[in-house]
Structure 1
Amino acid sequence: MAENGGTRPSVVVLGGGYGGVKAAKLLDDVADVTLVDPSDAFLHNLAALRALVAPEWLERIFLPYQRLLVHGRYLQDRAVAVDGRQVTLASGQRLEPDYLILATGSSYAFPAKIGEPDTAEAKAKARTAHEDLVSAERVLLVGAGPVGLELAGEIKAAFPGKHVTIADVAADILPGPFDQELRDELRRQLGELGVELKLGSPLRELPGAEPATAAPIAIVTEAGEKLTADIWFRCFGVTLHTDYLRGSLAAARDARGYLQVDEHLRVKGHDRVFAIGDITDADRDMAAFAGMQGELLAGNLRAVITGEGEPVAYERQPAMIVVPLGPEGGAGQLPGHEGVVGAAAIAEIKGRSLLLERTESIFDAPDAA
């Protein structure tokens, strides 16, 4: 049975990341959708590292939210308090939709995420960092996770003569539930690129200079090894955006700070409040998983609204990752593929295009009159 007797129910989506835009877009024709995000444009973060070394990408990776919805509306604002379905925005506006989707995501160190709500300021920040990178001969990346590895690959592909060092307290690269064979292949390619790995000993302290800024860097590991560079980048540390949660929603977070959701992505203890993406315990923090959750949740809400179809449960995804090392290198681990996915396939899947066209395709609403 269709809900509300033909009246379009209201849906508020807080957060315009990969999950939020997917959910908002797919509900636009059956609900009165409001998308709330503090930025004026969606940033295709998957290409942010490429834009650091090739700033011409900056003209393509910012996609205005005004081009997302045909029927719904976008508010450039942010939630400051959410209790149940009652939403208070920084502007003072209050919303209480029939359905609330929390998709506020996380922040990460620049340049993996730029963190500037104004597109012009974000582009200027990236261009300044590019110029500082160009001037540097030695580059230090602190963190040997996916961001550190991918950034090393981007820098060496664009500037083969630069000396790039990755430092991490871990004894190996790429933490997580991945096969050792994948780590070995990535290390092999990094070695061929000339990337130096300094693993297994913590830094006595982080560099005193601001990250992504040209400055003399000289630090020492606990093992006594000195590392020098002309610029450094922080490639670790995720901060969840859940500080606006109040009452029982705040209490629904687990010990790590993630919102607990059921198999239908409903927040624990709430009937019409859902959460997707990085802020939930549904899966690992990956853009692809956030998009999958947004699509599944939109399908489930469509079924409730239209009375057609049945809700589908979200299933935690198996270990998978694609790590480009520049446009033509990299390796990955994908379900259904035996062994390591090699550089040629990674370049075809992600390395060359960085999946930009797929994201661009949903921002197809006509410009407002």
Structure 2
Amino acid sequence: MSEKISVVVVGGGAAATTVAAALDKTLDPSRHSLTLITESDYLRHHPAALRAIVTAEGNLEDQICIPYDKVFGKDKKGGAGRVGTVKFGKVISIEENANEEGGAIVLENNERVKWDYLTIATGSEWNGPLRWPTKREDVKSYLDNWRERLATAKSVLLVGSGAVGSELAGEIVEFFPSTEVTVVNRNPLPLNETYPDSFRERVKAGLTGRGVKFIGGDSVSSLAPNVLNGTESVSPGRSITTDKGVKVAADLIIPTTGRRGVNTHFLGASSSPSAANINKSLVAGGHLDVLATLQLKTNPRVFAAGDVVALPEQHTLIKAANHAPVVAANIFALIQANGDNKKALKNYTKAMDAILITNGRTRGVMYVDLFRFFGRPIIFGDWLSAKLKSNGLLIGMAKGMMNQD
């Protein structure tokens, strides 16, 4: 009997799990193997993670730290599907055969996993409050530490007002209304220029209307390592001075600049010397240069999805959800064509830009670029934002994706 074709998906977030689940439904158990490799032993549901660090209300960690045991179906157990299995481990290197036809994944424990087709969907690395532990057993102590510091601090400084900073500010004033919250942001308005100024103004107004002090066009440079990694202790009565000389009360400083980069450190000449062709697709920031088919430009048997792709778009859950079916369909098509890259494959079409910024449990603001009135963007307010996300935080959607509903 010939050796099975090995399909490997590296990553444990929405893009990776969706690709793996789709392939489990189409691959042939007698001819193919499928392995999902993830360092974390649970999927963290990002939209609820910021509220979870602020409050123990609702025991959110029990709902948003989602196990992988049913990732391949409600009737599956232990992370085993028709074809797929889940393997927990940290990837330290990728090996690539000289003919570009496969290789091996090397884990921290020196285990090697053969691949013939590979998807890299390892997501982002984060500063501060989103640097959660990779082991579920460590989550409670991590959250308790954050909650205790936020309950103790009389003033909190958030450095950065993208989605993370804007939403965290709203959560803090929701649960600790007497805490003085200041946001310092490099841009004059929250978020970035992808979104219309009218929407960004609404985000700012929602925060300042609840007493948050917003300082735009300024920054706080040279944050200490313990601030960046989220372990700084509360310093009662402390104040700091911004780069432009504004004095700000800051018992606790939290970096909320969002992503610190993408998680592709296992690639490159030093980590993966034999993966010469894969490494050629590494571009600025550790992203991976891809074709419209989401194949790497330098190896047609390797795909990328989610935050790691070097595409001119915002890295959001909507984008990852649209990458996944393209990758899964193209891998299956290539396998059916015995690796013939001349096979007609699907192209990824950029998904819409949409964003919903929560402001506590009952407020928020949403923008979707599909909706315009005489050319002007339509912005949705508190009622719809609360209905869609601010109240339930999309937890039901995440559980459904992982077959835990």
State the match for 1:192 in structure 2: 209
Task: Check 1:209–1:261 CA distance in 2 against 1; reply closer, same or farther (3 A cut).
Answer: closer
Q: What does residue range 206-355 of structure 1 map to in structure 2 within 5 Å?
A: 206=223, 210=227, 211=230, 213-216=233-236, 217-236=238-257, 237-245=259-267, 246=272, 247-282=276-311, 283-305=313-335, 311-338=345-372, 339-355=378-394
Question: 1:286, 1:18 → 2: CA distance?
Answer: 10
Are 1:122 and 2:126 matched, yes or no? no
Question: 1:358, 1:365 → 2: CA distance?
Answer: 10
Task: Check 1:208–1:265 CA distance in 2 against 1; reply closer, same or farther (3 A cut).
Answer: closer
Are 1:33 and 2:34 matched, yes or no? yes
How far residue 112 of structure 1 moved from its aligned partner, in angstroms, is 2.7
**Residue identity opposite 2:321 in structure 1:** G
Stretches of 4+ aligned residues off by more than 4 angstroms: 303-307
**Residue identity opposite 2:403 in structure 1:** D
User: Secondary structure in 2 aligned to 1:170?
Assistant: coil
**Residue identity opposite 2:264 in structure 1:** T
Preserved CA contact (<8 Å) 1:15 1:105: yes
**Residue identity opposite 1:284 in structure 2:** Q
State the match for 2:130 in structure 1: 112
Question: 1:110, 1:202 → 2: CA distance?
Answer: 16
Deviations, residues 139-184 of structure 1 (Å, cap 9, x unaligned): 1111011110000011112222221110123222211311010011
How far residue 12 of structure 1 moved from its aligned partner, in angstroms, is 0.5
User: Secondary structure in 2 aligned to 1:350?
Assistant: helix
Question: 1:189, 1:125 → 2: CA distance?
Answer: 29
Measured on the aligned residues, the alpha-carbon RMSD in Å equals 2.4
Please, which of 11, 23, 26 is the counterpart of residue 15 of structure 1? 11
Greater RCO (Cα-Cα under 8 Å, separation 6 or more): 1
State the match for 2:397 in structure 1: 358
Question: 1:268, 1:254 → 2: CA distance?
Answer: 11
User: Secondary structure in 2 aligned to 1:141?
Assistant: strand
Q: How many residues end up aligned between the 2 structures?
A: 360
The percent identity for this pair of structures is 28
Task: Check 1:185–1:25 CA distance in 2 against 1; reply closer, same or farther (3 A cut).
Answer: same
In structure 1, the gaps of 5 or more residues are none
Question: 1:57, 1:345 → 2: CA distance?
Answer: 22
Task: Check 1:176–1:112 CA distance in 2 against 1; reply closer, same or farther (3 A cut).
Answer: farther
The range that moved more, 60-69 or 208-217, is 208-217
Preserved CA contact (<8 Å) 1:50 1:154: yes
How far residue 248 of structure 1 moved from its aligned partner, in angstroms, is 1.9
Deviations, residues 206-263 of structure 1 (Å, cap 9, x unaligned): 3686436322342111322211222121101422111212322122122343100111
Q: What does residue range 52-131 of structure 1 map to in structure 2 within 5 Å?
A: 52-55=53-56, 56-69=59-72, 70-71=81-82, 72-84=84-96, 85-86=102-103, 87-114=105-132, 116-131=133-148
How far residue 61 of structure 1 moved from its aligned partner, in angstroms, is 0.7
Question: 2:225, 2:7 → 1: CA distance?
Answer: 45
Question: 1:158, 1:80 → 2: CA distance?
Answer: 40
The range that moved more, 199-208 or 159-168, is 199-208
TM-score (norm 1): 0.90
Preserved CA contact (<8 Å) 1:106 1:241: yes
Question: 2:125, 2:295 → 1: CA distance?
Answer: 23
Question: 2:197, 2:356 → 1: CA distance?
Answer: 14
Preserved CA contact (<8 Å) 1:107 1:238: yes
Question: 2:335, 2:218 → 1: CA distance?
Answer: 55
**Residue identity opposite 2:89 in structure 1:** D
Preserved CA contact (<8 Å) 1:111 1:126: no
